[in-house]
Amino acid sequence: MTGTLSFEPDDRFNAFLTTCRKVSHGSGRLAGIPVAVKDNISTQGIETTCASKILKGYIPPYDAHVVRLLKEAGAAIVGKTNMDEFGMGTTTENSAFGPTLNPLDTSRVPGGSSGGSAAAIAAGMVPMALGTDTGGSIRCPAAFCGIVGLKPSYGRVSRYGLIAYANSLEQIGPMAKTVTDVSTLYSVIAGHDPRDSTSYDRSYNHIPSVEIKGLKIGIPQEYFGKGVDPAVGNVVQKAIGTLEQLGATTIPCTIPSMEYALAAYYVICTSEASSNLARFDGVRYGPAADVKKSWHDAYRDVRRAGFGEEVRRRIMLGTFALSSGYYGKYYAKAQVARENVRADFSRIFSKVDVIAGPTMPTTAFRLKEKSDPLSMYLSDILTVPANLAGIPSISVPCGKVAGMPVGLQIMGRHFDDERVIDVAYAYEQAVRA
The pLDDT, as a whole number, for residue 6 is: 47
- From 158-162, 373-377, 391-395, the region with the lowest mean pLDDT: 373-377
Question: How large is the average pLDDT for residues 412-416?
Answer: 98
Please, what is the average pLDDT of the chain?
95
CA pair distance 197, 158, nearest whole angstrom:
9
Rounded to 5 degrees, what are φ and ψ at 365?
-70, 160
CA pair distance 311, 382, nearest whole angstrom:
22
- From 23-37, 131-145, 236-250, 253-267, the region with the lowest mean pLDDT: 23-37
Q: Choosing from 52, 113, 379, 393, which is the catalytic residue?
A: 113
The pLDDT, as a whole number, for residue 105 is: 98
The pLDDT, as a whole number, for residue 23 is: 61
Question: pLDDT digit string (tens) for 202-245?
Answer: 999 999 999 999 999 999 999 999 999 999 999 999 999 999 99
Q: Choosing from 38, 71, 80, 370, which is the catalytic residue?
A: 38
pLDDT of 167 above 90: yes
Residue 38 catalytic? yes
Residue 324 catalytic? no
Amino acid at site 409 = Q
Contact (CB, 8 A) for 169 and 388: yes
Residue 203 catalytic? no
The pLDDT, as a whole number, for residue 289 is: 86
Question: How large is the average pLDDT for residues 301-330?
Answer: 95
Q: Choosing from 114, 117, 137, 395, which is the catalytic residue?
A: 137
Q: Is 357 helix (H, G, I), strand (E, B) or coil?
A: strand
pLDDT of 194 above 50: yes
Q: Is 285 exposed, middle or buried (0-12, 13-18, 19+ CB in 10 A)?
A: middle
The pLDDT, as a whole number, for residue 180 is: 98
Question: How large is the average pLDDT for residues 380-399?
Answer: 98
**Sign of torsion over alpha carbons 320, 325, 331, 337:** negative
pLDDT of 56 above 80: yes
Q: Is 101 exposed, middle or buried (0-12, 13-18, 19+ CB in 10 A)?
A: buried
The pLDDT, as a whole number, for residue 3 is: 36
Where does the pLDDT of residue 4 fall: very low under 50, low under 70, confident under 90, or very high at 90 and above?
very low
CA pair distance 186, 191, nearest whole angstrom:
9
Q: Is 300 exposed, middle or buried (0-12, 13-18, 19+ CB in 10 A)?
A: middle
Q: Is 57 exposed, middle or buried (0-12, 13-18, 19+ CB in 10 A)?
A: exposed
Q: What percent of the chain is predicted at pLDDT more than 90?
A: 90
Question: pLDDT digit string (tens) for 96-128?
Answer: 999 999 999 999 999 999 999 999 999 999 999
- What pTM was computed for the model? 0.96
Give me the domains of the chain, ranges plus CATH numbers: 1-433 (3.90.1300.10)
Contact (CB, 8 A) for 17 and 46: no
